[in-house]
């Protein structure tokens, strides 16, 4: 068949969006708010996932605002992408110091790198370590029954696999 052409479409490779670029866009936008950045992921096919949090929680409206702001920074003709902006998951492990600070006074579960799982109240957190208080039953000298005492356990962030909030329904 002379002269017959079959149309075909060439999908041009999309321009890669860099994680650092998204982090900068989000950080600039939330800088003067109570929100803080928890995590950013950008896959090789430009699926962008942004997690934010705040001490008072995250509203859906703010996620929408931030999503629109991020979208406005890119040209969809040049960079094809998917975008998801969400609050940090309640049952997900903590990823940044501010999540530890937000949960001081709450019950958390810690899994150490050597496989020990401990639950207790998160009582302190800084850049290097955090502390949880656990209740222990001990036999006091000369006492007939065991008594409950509080014990502080301090963890270096490098020594743990995860720390997460424990949800209790009473």
pTM: 0.82
**Pairing of the two strands 160-165 and 146-156:** unpaired
Rounded CA-CA distance 12/119 in Å is 52
**pLDDT tens digits, the chain, 170 residues: what are they?**
455 444 554 444 557 889 999 999 999 999 999 999 999 999 998 999 999 999 999 999 999 999 999 999 998 888 889 999 999 988 899 999 999 999 999 999 999 999 999 999 999 999 999 999 999 888 878 778 888 899 999 999 999 999 999 988 87
Domains identified in the chain and CATH numbers: 19-87 (3.30.300.70), 97-165 (2.30.30.100)
**Nearest Cα to Cα of residue 79 among 16, 37, 126, 34:** 16
Q: What are phi and psi of 155, to 5 degrees?
A: -120, 140
Is the distance from CB of 161 to CB of 113 less than 8 angstroms? Answer: yes
């Amino acid at each position: 068949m002379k002269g017959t052409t079959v149309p075909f479409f060439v999908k041009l490779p999309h321009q890669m969006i860099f994680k650092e670029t998204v982090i900068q866009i989000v950080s600039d936008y939330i800088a003067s708010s109570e929100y803080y950045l928890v995590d950013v992921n950008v896959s090789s096919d430009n699926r962008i996932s942004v997690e934010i949090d705040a001490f008072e929680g995250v509203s859906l409206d703010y996620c929408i605002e931030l999503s629109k702001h991020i979208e406005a920074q890119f040209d969809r003709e040049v960079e094809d992408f998917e975008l998801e902006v969400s609050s940090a998951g309640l049952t997900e492990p903590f990823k940044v110091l501010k999540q530890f600070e937000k949960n001081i006074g709450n019950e958390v579960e810690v899994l150490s790198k050597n496989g020990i799982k401990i639950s207790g109240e998160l009582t302190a957190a800084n850049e290097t370590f955090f502390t949880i208080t656990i209740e222990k039953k001990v036999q006091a000298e000369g006492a007939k029954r065991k008594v409950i005492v509080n014990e502080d356990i301090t963890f270096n962030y490098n020594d743990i696999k995860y720390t997460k909030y424990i949800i209790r329904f009473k």
